[in-house]
Structure 1
Amino acid sequence: MMSYKAMLFDLDDTLLDRDRAVDNLFLLVLEKCYEDVSDTVKNNMLQKFKEYDKGEYGISNKTIVLESLFDEFPPKYRLPRNYIQDFWNNNFPKCFSINQNTINFLNSIKMHIKVGIITNGSTQRQTAKIINTNLNNYFDTIIISEEVGCSKPDKRIFELALNKLNVQPENTLFVGDDLEKDIAGCQNANIKGVWFNPNMIKNNTDIKPYAEITSFDNLLSYCGEINFQK
């Protein structure tokens, strides 16, 4: 039986629910900048906010996200343009929480194998998310693209994780939600990719994950191949 020695994870929308965090940040913006907004308008605003956020996903400066929202839905109290980035950096990481199932899973594997995070994004924000959710207590290495100068799907960022953990690709699994960045990326480095797909999105690509899961509970079945004997 194959004995895996390490498991690597994506951060946003894998370990942490980024969609829910975006909802929470929107509520904060609503509370801070708007008054007496009807439910219908609020729902329209949220959808637009998500669209603007998605358009800037992976880009460090988020000023345009709120500027676009303010332009379309003029607020009573508009945040100054030169303050928006600080507002986002200070508040967005606090909008994240970690699922108890994820904590249980990490507790069950971290004493037996090496675990790491590979995430694309801003060093400041990604670090804050990890610390605010105490994820730093569970991982042997955490690699953030801005910090290391390359990002998924570049195989170098995966190879860096392998080097830091001192493991071989054939002894490693990578878990992530993005087929192109996570799964194809880790496969470029000869690591088996487990596609985290809780919303059961259809795979319309030619990318073939090693496995597909809808929750971390499902991931335990693949841990049957992990050697838990020290």
Structure 2
Amino acid sequence: MNLMIKAIIFDFDNTLMDRDMTFRKYAEQFVCEHLDHLDPQTQDVIVSDLIVRDADGYRDKQAFFEEMVEVLPWKKPLTAAEIKTFYNTHYMTHACRMDYVEEVLAYCSHRGYLMAVMTNGQHQIQYGKMDNLQLRDSFHTVIVSEDAGMKKPDPRIYQMALDQLEVEAEQCVFVGDHPVNDIWGANQLGIRGVWLRRNHKWDDSLGMKPWKSIDQLNELLEII
């Protein structure tokens, strides 16, 4: 055990939860229920288009819902408010774990690390996904940006996690997939970052590199 490391902070979407698969399953349900007049091949094309328009979850949700109203080949159109209600009700129910989550969390717990989740998003959605995956109780603290009143990469939200875990920055590691929100943001406070390479390319203009980089979550076990 690395005695300098006392705590691990995890990002949630596309770090502990496979957001790619989660959103795909949600989109498939939406298209199946609301565009059922279309043939299966056309439905598949629309699902793929929705995935692109969603932009890995970084698209403004209200703008996304309004765009869906305009671009989808409706038989019985929905309003943006109705699409939002469907999303808030069903999206979280499709939550899928990333590979090796159970193994990694069990290892961290066995080694005595304090663990936290820090995630940008709405309270209802983020906690709903965690609870569907039965992950919330694995962590000593959970920070959701809506509750915190700030979001990554605001340095105050990382400090909030350090304060709640009662550790110093140099005793902590942040694991996440987003170069800015997870790795660069944590680095501003001196927290070492482990970058899980997923959908985002590294931005060389950040002027720093991750402490470590991994392609699968279980590679973390070789680091900590």
Q: Distance in 2 between matches of 1:198 and 1:70?
A: 30
4+ residue stretches of structure 1 with deviation over 6 A?
Answer: none
Q: Please state how far the C-alpha of 1:41 moved relative to its aligned partner.
A: 2.4
Q: Distance in 2 between matches of 1:107 and 1:55?
A: 28
Gaps of 5+ in 1: 224-230
Q: Distance in 1 between matches of 2:32 and 2:141?
A: 37
8 Å CA contact 1:110–1:139 kept in 2: the answer is no
Aligned position for 1:216: 217
Q: Please state how far the C-alpha of 1:56 moved relative to its aligned partner.
A: 6.4
* TM-score relative to the length of structure 1: 0.88
Q: Distance in 2 between matches of 1:194 and 1:145?
A: 21
Letter in 2 for 1:4: I
Q: Please state how far the C-alpha of 1:58 moved relative to its aligned partner.
A: 6.0
Per-residue deviation, residues 33-82 of structure 1 (Å, max 9, x unmatched)? 112433542343123212321286264xx344244234223222333433
Secondary structure of the structure 1 residue equivalent to 2:208: coil
Letter in 1 for 2:165: L
Change (3 A) 1:100 1:215: closer
- How many aligned residue pairs are there? 220
Aligned position for 1:154: 154
Q: Distance in 2 between matches of 1:50 and 1:194?
A: 26
Secondary structure of the structure 2 residue equivalent to 1:110: helix
Q: Distance in 1 between matches of 2:39 and 2:208?
A: 43
Aligned position for 2:76: 77
Matches within 5 A, 1:187-226: 187-198=187-198, 202-205=201-204, 206-223=207-224
8 Å CA contact 1:89–1:125 kept in 2: the answer is yes
Letter in 2 for 1:189: L
State the percentage of identical aligned residues. 29
Change (3 A) 1:175 1:118: same
Letter in 2 for 1:73: L
